[in-house]
Amino acid sequence: MDAFAAVNADKWSRLHELSGKGRLTGAEADELLALYQSTSSHLSLIRSIAPESGLSASLSATLAQARTRFTGARTNPMADLARFFVAALPAAFYRLTWLTLACGAAFIVVGSAYALWIGTSPEALRAVGSEAALRQYVEEDFIDYYSENPAASFAGAVWTNNAWISAQAVALGITGIWVPMILFSNAQGVGVAAGVFAAAGKQDVFFSYILPHGLMELTAVFVACAAGLRIFWAMVSPGPRTRGRAVAEEGRSLITVALGLVLVLFASGLVEGFVTPSPLPVWAKITIGAAVLALYWAYVLVWGRRAYQAGERGDLRREDAGYTEIAA
């Protein structure tokens, strides 16, 4: 082993030198590849005799460094992070624009129908609860909900809950049932609450507490539902792709949406925890909520549209997504 190492030490040293060099000439690149191949053979021979030796470990490290030079290294994590926020995420949101608006319209129709029904029908109102219970809900419980806990812990709890709902909408959207169920149940809940306040003549109180955070929060839920429906439709109508490939591509790009919604809902949770129960004037609170929503749509419609037109879809890079087979 000592004689073998003495004979080849210069080659190994040269391989290590070229592996760490900043720029290589054409001749040096050829030399690097030749030395890599010969050193790989040397390592195989050494491992057959002394697999756990220090020399074996040293050559393995040198070969790994050399391999990075001619196979290429992965992109810088900061570059990947920048691509996620500048291209992948806004493009993934942009693809869902019309479907998001459709989910929002369906929510408004169902919620308005329930609010009108509860607010104008004494029988329906009595079915919701007793007069004393409804009075306590309108005058105390609804308002106290936003201030009975410290703002920071309340914002964290709201963020966690809404992120979980959105993740379910994306992950279980392929069933075709979960998304309509989420939309309907949430629209029903908001509509019934609005109807109870309308029957008491306090619609202004209801909207003063719902709108500041609800504008962004409900939009995030609509985006999550749109993502789930997109996966479902990829399975139903894959187009020119195989069904498995269509679901895989849509699933990867829409998991990007789920990750982005965690950040969107974090902003919404901050508004709900700190702005909604604050002593600010109602117009100021609603303005803050509307500004957060405007920033989201500006991000989607400006950056998202630009990234989408450049070919970005929110999926993984081609080298990360893997190969796809050609199918008729």
Domain locations in the chain? Answer: 2-71, 79-321
Query: Can you give the pTM of this predicted structure?
Result: 0.72
Return the residue matching tokens 């989607």. 300
Q: Report the percentage of the chain scoring pLDDT > 90.
A: 17
Mean pLDDT for 11-36 is: 86
Residue 204 has, within 13 A of its CA and on its CB side, a CA count of: 4
Mean pLDDT for 125-147 is: 83
Residue 63: pLDDT band by 50, 70, 90 thresholds?
confident
Q: Check: CB of residue 188 under 8 Å from CB of residue 247.
A: no
- Most confident of the following: 149-153, 189-193, 240-244: 189-193
Predicted confidence (pLDDT) per residue in 218-266, tens digit = 898 899 899 889 888 888 888 887 888 778 777 777 778 888 888 888 8
Whether the predicted pLDDT of 323 surpasses 70: no
Return the residue matching tokens 């049932």. 177
Residue 267: pLDDT band by 50, 70, 90 thresholds?
confident
By the 10 Å C-beta count (0-12 exposed, 13-18 middle, 19+ buried), 11 is classed as middle
Query: Is the model more confident about 191 or about 258?
Result: 191
Q: 221 Cβ partners below 8 Å, 6+ apart?
A: 162, 165, 166, 169, 182, 183, 186
Q: What pLDDT is stored for residue 184 in this prediction?
A: 92
Q: What pLDDT is stored for residue 299 in this prediction?
A: 93
